[in-house]
Structure 1
């Protein structure tokens, strides 16, 4: 699923390891999230959203993802 994690992380001058430490996961998890190879649990998505002072909906562009999903049906 598309997300804005990498953009937000870079805008905060934060490393993948620093973000991982803040949300209690490995840096490999952050790498997988940024490459859109892994969809997080709702709790992890919430923790990441809190770090960036945003919502899960904004973090994952849920409205945009929903529109794209409907186009593919």
Structure 2
């Protein structure tokens, strides 16, 4: 899954640690999400989108490879 999380954090001047505190995960989890190494839950995606005041689809985008069984 592609994401714009790092870009959105930069726009709001929010560190990985600050975002992690805001949504209740570790900084390492935020880092893994940004690197595409962590498939987050719907709840976490919604929490992150709320922090930035934008839709989940504006931050996260499915790739064709995500749709394969």
TM over 0.5: yes
2:36 corresponds in structure 1 to: 36
Q: Structure 2 stretches of 5 or more lacking a match?
A: none
The root-mean-square deviation of aligned C-alpha atoms, in Å, is: 1.5
Partner of 1:51: 51
Q: TM-score, normalised by structure 1?
A: 0.83
In our comparison, the structure showing a higher alpha carbon Rg is 1
After superposition, give the CA deviation of every residue in 1:1-59 in whole Å (9 maximum; x if it has no partner). 10011100011111100000000000000000010111100000000000010111111
Structure 1 stretches of at least 4 aligned residues deviating more than 2 Å after TM superposition:
none
Where structure 1 has 5 or more consecutive residues not aligned to the other structure, the ranges are: none
